[in-house]
Structure 1
């Protein structure tokens, strides 16, 4: 069983990202959207955490671009239709509110 974990809150305001990374399974994926895309800033603790983890990482391209960021080569920037497709491919979607 696979889960798509969706984060939208900044990783600098709380520990949602750290908690999410702890529970990610081998078949799970993580999608960053909204302010969660700030985790893609090189040289930050959240960036290092995600880079060190073996995970399937996606980020909404629109949100990455709106914040003047770039997705690293180990993360895939996707659009909204791809987000829908990703949701369908997983058994569950867990939004970290």
Structure 2
């Protein structure tokens, strides 16, 4: 059963990303929002870890949060607006928000 994992906390001050990655299934996806988009900083350990995930795990980030923090979108990541965010949630059997 595929799960969309939504993260909103910085991976540099919180362990939720690490915990999430340990539970990822082969067909799961990760959506970074808020402070979690800092995981996409070029050359960072979190970005290297996310980039090494199997291609079957989809990676997304909320575009508004990337722009607000002056970050680009790595090749492996799909940037979404809020409409696409809502649509993405409907594509998965489960949605887990890592609060």
Q: Same fold (TM over 0.5)?
A: yes
CA distance, structure 1, for counterparts of residue 42 and residue 21 of structure 2: 18
Q: Aligned residue for 2:30?
A: 30
The offset of 1:25, in angstroms, is 0.5
**Counterpart mapping for 1:1-97 below 5 A:** 1-54=1-54, 55-97=57-99
Structure 2: give runs of 5+ residues left out of the alignment: none
Structure 1: give runs of 5+ residues left out of the alignment: none
CA distance, structure 1, for counterparts of residue 91 and residue 32 of structure 2: 17
What CA RMSD, in Å, does the superposition of the two structures yield over aligned residues?
A: 0.7
Runs of 4+ in structure 1 deviating by more than 2 angstroms, as ranges, are none
What per-residue deviation string (whole Å, max 9, x for no partner) do you get for residues 30-64 of structure 1?
00000000000011111111011122100000000
Q: How many residues align?
A: 97
* SS of alignment partner, residue 65 of structure 1: helix
The offset of 1:15, in angstroms, is 1.2
